[in-house]
Structure 1
């Protein structure tokens, strides 16, 4: 009888361990680049979350004292673990938003915003879809999911189970993430914006020199072709810069951007 009771206790401890890890892992997988996209079915996301939980739980076990769960405030644990998972997941989602914003800025600057229209679930220009899909593919090539598992394990030493993140520090971190995402987006789209400024200045000079010439009909194909050529040349560099920034976030998710 004692053996059965001991087995039940071990099963209960394992259940609490995996449930606690799932609370932190679930929001991350819901916002994870690639796995958390709208086109991925919810059941697939759930299976991925459970698999990710099974990977993280054994390494996170030393940070989780399952013997105290009978006296622990369950609601506080659910709230704190979900909040930490959302923080990490939102940080990852900001990198995809940076790519999407850079694609929108580049498309607007080079008159490519209407090519193909809304090609996916998110209404984005074609350049935004190309950069987003390229970024997701690059993240998978860099084994992002493996590094994220290591990062999640490390967060248990920063945010213990049941401890809510400090509101002031969290707000400062969130502002820094948003500012960093927009700064990264503008840095990626800067060549397209520069070409657009030069294009408009050139058209203005030509229009002043030859008012009778229809500069729009001459310049529109030029800026469109130039935008496509620029995208072909700069997309690898843009994704490389984005990948380096993403790896920096994985290495230090709660540090300065």
Structure 2
């Protein structure tokens, strides 16, 4: 093989091979919601990608290009980045469902202004969305979803070796169809709480219509917040089941994305 000389002999070839294998793993870790958040140091992601790369080189038949600086190799590296980003982005879509549901619930409760800085992304996010996102993260870790996802990333090397034909159009359509399912999942998550809040708003409207002297805002806002909190507490077992189903759906879609 023709590798650039790093002055370290045979170890230079092994290092270039390891770096080539780490591209897909590193892109997947960067795009994934758990491993790619700001709280995880870059050094941790590099060490994890290197550890998985060493495993791949020793236990999987990974074929490294002969010329690391040739144009076909650069094209293959671009394909590795696309595959890794796809594996992480599919999981990222699943973790966006609680945020969407939380925004809908917070808007119905009158708590849309209750925002805080999300430590995972560094952007402003609603308090309800952050609560549901943390809940999904705990459920995902409890069922071992992170381990299953890492296994799927490793298995992708046997299904789609470096340089293999990756149908970008078909995989892109698969990701788009999964995004539509995520929107439906977000609506299902928010539905029980929003129905309770709708009932509270109807009752508040009837009371304000019957007694115009009452201040609708002074009565409706506390009632909506209190009803929303109680509805969230009562719906927690149902939300846990929905989050388990959402995590399993996300893992199934990742497996579908790496299926030949």
TM-score tier (shorter): 0.7 to 0.9
Matches within 5 A, 1:184-199: 184-199=185-200
Tell me the SS of whatever aligns to 1:36. Answer: coil
Q: Which residue of 2 aligns with 1:148?
A: 149
Distance 1:83 1:234, change over 3 A: same
Matches within 5 A, 1:20-99: 20-59=20-59, 61-62=60-61, 64-66=62-64, 68-70=65-67, 73-99=72-98
Q: Is the 8 A contact 2:178 2:253 kept in 1?
A: no
Residue 147 of structure 1: how far off its partner (Å): 1.0
Q: Is the 8 A contact 1:110 1:192 kept in 2?
A: no
Could you tell which deviates more after superposition, 38-47 or 74-83? 38-47
Q: Is the 8 A contact 1:103 1:128 kept in 2?
A: yes
Matches within 5 A, 1:1-257: 11=11, 14-59=14-59, 61-62=60-61, 64-66=62-64, 68-70=65-67, 73-115=72-114, 117-118=116-117, 120=119, 121-253=122-254, 255=256
Q: Is the 8 A contact 2:99 2:130 kept in 1?
A: yes
Residue 239 of structure 1: how far off its partner (Å): 3.5
CA distance in 2 between partners of 1:172 and 1:159 (Å):
18
Distance 1:162 1:91, change over 3 A: same
TM-score of the two chains, using structure 1 as the length reference: 0.83
Alpha carbon RMSD of aligned pairs, Å?
Answer: 2.6
Which structure 1 residue ranges, 4+ long, deviate > 4 Å from structure 2? 11-14
Distance 1:243 1:193, change over 3 A: same
Tell me the SS of whatever aligns to 1:124. Answer: strand
CA distance in 1 between partners of 2:186 and 2:45 (Å):
28
Tell me the SS of whatever aligns to 1:255. Answer: helix
Distance 1:90 1:119, change over 3 A: closer
Residue 75 of structure 1: how far off its partner (Å): 0.5
Q: Is the 8 A contact 2:193 2:235 kept in 1?
A: no
How many residues align? The count is: 245
CA distance in 2 between partners of 1:218 and 1:235 (Å):
26
Q: Is the 8 A contact 1:55 1:149 kept in 2?
A: no
Residue 85 of structure 1: how far off its partner (Å): 0.3
Residue 55 of structure 1: how far off its partner (Å): 4.3
Residue 207 of structure 1: how far off its partner (Å): 2.4
Runs of 5+ consecutive residues of structure 1 not aligned to the other structure:
1-7
Distance 1:33 1:243, change over 3 A: farther
Deviation by residue 1:154-199 (Cα, 9 ceiling, x = unmatched): 2234423113522321231121122122111111111122123222
Could you tell which deviates more after superposition, 44-53 or 179-188? 44-53
CA distance in 2 between partners of 1:146 and 1:119 (Å):
25
Q: Is the 8 A contact 1:203 1:215 kept in 2?
A: yes
Deviation by residue 1:46-85 (Cα, 9 ceiling, x = unmatched): 22332343445444x22x223x534872111101111000
